[in-house]
Structure formats: structure tokens, C-alpha cells
């Protein structure tokens, strides 16, 4: 075993990655699998069936025995419980939960807000994206005396709201609050709760807001404005989340770290003008 394998001690751990068919959660799942973790990708399967995401991940990682998947609506408590029991049977007791579900949705002026859509976005980003799976997993971990680790996905909008994405901004600010309060209450049970705040990465759910065309790249006015605000002068690549993911997932490497949020943002949060 190398020094780093021993340092992170992730081999043979079990993780659930919600939204695992998505761009960023998929990259985080990839990093875990390559570090020796057995991963179940969870998703609603609404656009792409989860079986297809599992097949792609098996091929991409070259570790077919370490990947499985489950169709779960993470906003539904009973469905999450069912998914957890099934995952446990398939690959063992999960010790790591990555809450990857979420998406930015439509832009709107405040006065034009559609209240039903606002509620739907809160339900997706805050409830399905954090509260419901965190509640089910932490209860399960306490009952089974498992030292679990949760990684939530925050956003730049957790700290600085972006224009027009009202419910997303509010939900992602809530993710930081949830991360801290859950970390505080669950530390006595040896459960750690942290977050990663990705800057701007081209994902399926936000592509339409950032780029007009890919080759040659042509950005929307919003995409251009955001790029101008990133000191690194580029959008992030999903693999750039791997370091923060492995650190926060590893009880050995970050056993005394809980309640924090790591921005992975090319310096976006450092820029004032």
C-alpha cells in the first residue's frame, strides 16, 4: 500500500452519489471509484436511465465491480430508504453520501417569479439535494454506529447571489446553513458534514445560461460576465473537484474537519471588482 492509499484509507469504503449521472456528481464518483471506493450512482433516470450512467462509469473507470446504480427520487423519503436498503444488499453499508442533486433552473425578474416553480426549485435543490437523503442516512448511521461522511454541493450563489436565479440562490445559501447545523448536531455521533462550493463548470443543467456554442466556444453575455469575474480566467473542469472530494470523504484524512465548505472556484470569491 502506498503512503497516500494508507493516508486516505478509502479502499473498500462504500458511497452513494446522488445525481450520480450528472456532470459534477459523476466526476466526484469517478474520483472515489479510482481511490478504491464502491459507489452506487443514484438518479431519477428522467433524462438518462441510471443503467446507462452505470455502464458509462464502468467503462470510464475500468473498475466494473465497483459501480452500481439505483433509480431513486431523492426528494422522497420512502424512496431514499428503499434505495439505501437495496444499495446495502448490493455493495455493503454506505459510509459516504455525496448529495449531488440540484440545478439552477430558469432566470426570472423578482416580480415575474412563478411561485410554483420557486417551490419546485427549493424542493429539488434543498430537500432532494440535501435534507431528505441527509436525514435518512444520518439516522441509519446512528442506528448502525457508522462514522459517516456527508458532502453537500453548495455554489457561488451560497455566498453571492447571481441575478435572476432566485430560488437557486436561496436553496444554495440554505445548503451552507444545513451543513453547519447538521455538522454541529451529528458530531457527537461521529458523523461529519461538509460541503464543496463549485465555481462555474459547464454542466447539463446550466449550459444554456453560459454558452451559445461549444466549438469554437462562444459565451452568452452572462457567461462572459462570469468569466470576467474569475481570476483564473476559465470555467472549471469537473475533475478539479476530485481533491476536495477525496479529502472530505476520507475519515482518516479529514476526521477532525466538519461543518466547512471548500470553494473550488478559480478564485471567484476573492474578486470584488
Ligand X SMILES: NC(=O)c1ccc[n+]([C@@H]2O[C@H](COP(=O)([O-])OP(=O)(O)OC[C@H]3O[C@@H](n4cnc5c(N)ncnc54)[C@H](O)[C@@H]3O)[C@@H](O)[C@H]2O)c1
Give the residue numbers annotated as catalytic, written as ranges. Answer: 168
For ligand X, the nearest residue by Cβ is: 22
What does 178-217 look like in DSSP terms, one character per residue? Answer: HHHHHHHHHGGGT-EEEEEEE--B--TTTHHHHEEETTTT
Work out how close the CB of 206 gets to ligand X at its nearest, in angstroms, rounded to a whole number: 5
Nearest alpha carbon to residue 175 among 156, 201, 202: 156
Work out how close the CB of 19 gets to ligand X at its nearest, in angstroms, rounded to a whole number: 3
Name which of 43 and 251 has its Cβ closer to ligand X. 43
The span from the CA of 202 to the CA of 230, in Å, is: 14
Q: What are phi and psi of 253, to 5 degrees?
A: -80, -30
Distances (CA, A) of 65 to 18, 41, 47, 245, 263: 19, 13, 25, 21, 32
Determine the straight-line distance between the first and last CA of the chain, rounded to whole angstroms: 47
Work out how close the CB of 249 gets to ligand X at its nearest, in angstroms, rounded to a whole number: 16
Work out how close the CB of 5 gets to ligand X at its nearest, in angstroms, rounded to a whole number: 28
Work out how close the CB of 161 gets to ligand X at its nearest, in angstroms, rounded to a whole number: 13
Fill in the DSSP letter of residue 131: I
Name which of 98 and 251 has its Cβ closer to ligand X. 98
CB 249 within 8 A of CB 10: yes
Name which of 148 and 266 has its Cβ closer to ligand X. 266
Fill in the DSSP letter of residue 235: P
Q: Any idea how long the chain is? A: 273
Give alpha helix (H) positions in 62-131: 77-91, 115-122
Work out how close the CB of 156 gets to ligand X at its nearest, in angstroms, rounded to a whole number: 7
Residues that bind ligand X (CB under 6 A): 18-19, 21-25, 43-44, 46-47, 72-75, 100-103, 124, 128-129, 153, 155, 198, 200-201, 203-206
The span from the CA of 68 to the CA of 129, in Å, is: 20
Q: Is the peptide bond before 235 cis (omega within 30 degrees of 0)?
A: no
Name which of 111 and 221 has its Cβ closer to ligand X. 221
Amino acid at each position: 500500500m502506498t503512503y497516500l492509499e494508507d493516508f486516505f484509507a478509502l479502499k473498500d469504503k462504500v458511497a452513494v452519489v446522488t445525481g450520480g449521472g450528472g456532470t459534477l456528481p459523476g466526476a466526484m464518483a469517478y474520483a472515489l471509484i479510482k481511490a478504491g471506493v464502491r459507489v452506487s450512482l443514484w438518479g431519477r433516470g428522467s433524462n438518462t436511465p441510471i443503467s446507462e450512467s452505470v455502464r458509462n462509469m464502468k467503462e470510464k473507470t475500468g473498475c466494473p465491480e465497483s459501480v452500481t446504480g439505483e433509480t431513486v427520487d431523492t426528494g422522497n423519503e420512502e424512496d431514499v430508504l428503499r434505495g439505501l436498503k437495496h444499495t446495502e444488499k448490493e455493495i455493503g453499508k454506505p459510509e459516504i453520501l455525496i448529495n449531488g442533486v440540484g440545478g439552477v433552473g430558469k432566470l426570472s425578474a423578482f416580480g415575474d417569479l412563478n411561485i410554483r416553480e420557486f417551490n419546485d426549485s427549493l424542493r429539488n435543490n434543498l430537500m432532494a439535494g440535501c435534507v431528505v437523503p441527509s436525514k435518512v442516512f444520518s439516522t441509519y448511521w446512528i442506528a448502525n454506529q457508522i462514522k459517516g461522511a456527508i458532502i453537500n454541493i453548495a455554489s457561488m450563489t451560497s455566498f453571492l447571489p447571481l441575478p435572476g436565479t432566485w430560488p437557486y440562490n436561496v436553496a444554495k445559501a440554505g445548503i451552507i446553513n444545513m451543513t453547519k447545523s447538521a455538522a454541529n448536531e451529528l458530531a457527537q455521533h461521529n458523523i461529519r458534514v461538509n460541503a464543496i462550493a463549485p465555481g462555474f463548470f459547464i454542466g447539463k443543467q446550466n449550459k444554456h445560461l453560459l454558452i451559445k456554442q461549444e466549438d469554437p466556444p462562444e459565451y452568452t453575455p452572462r457567461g462572459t460576465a462570469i468569466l470576467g469575474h474569475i481570476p483564473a480566467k476559465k470555467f472549471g473542469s469537473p475533475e478539479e473537484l476530485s481533491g476536495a472530494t477525496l479529502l472530505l470523504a476520507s475519515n482518516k484524512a479529514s476526521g477532525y474537519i466538519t461543518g466547512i465548505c471548500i470553494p473550488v472556484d478559480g478564485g471567484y470569491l476573492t474578486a470584488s471588482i
